[in-house]
Amino acid sequence: MPKLYYVPRTRAARPRIVLEELGIPYELVRLDPGSGETRTPEHLARHPLGHVPVLEDGEVRLFESGAICFWLAERYGEGRLLAPPGSPARALAYQWLCFALSELEPPLAPLAAELKKPEPERDRARVEEGRARFHAAARAVDAALPGREFLLGSELSVADVVVAAVLSYGKFLAGLEGLPAAEAYVLRLRSRPAWKRAMAD
List pLDDT tens digits, range 119-171: 999 999 999 999 999 999 999 999 999 999 999 999 999 999 999 999 999 99
pTM: 0.94
C-alpha 76 chain-centroid distance: 19
Q: What is the pLDDT of residue 191?
A: 97
- Rounded to an integer, what distance in angstroms lies between the CA atom of residue 68 and that of residue 73? 9
Assess whether pLDDT exceeds 90 at residue 30: yes
Query: What domains does the chain contain, in order, with CATH numbers?
Result: 3-76 (3.40.30.10), 88-192 (1.20.1050.10)
Average pLDDT of the segment spanning 50-66: 97
How far is 46 from 57, CA to CA, in rounded Å?
12
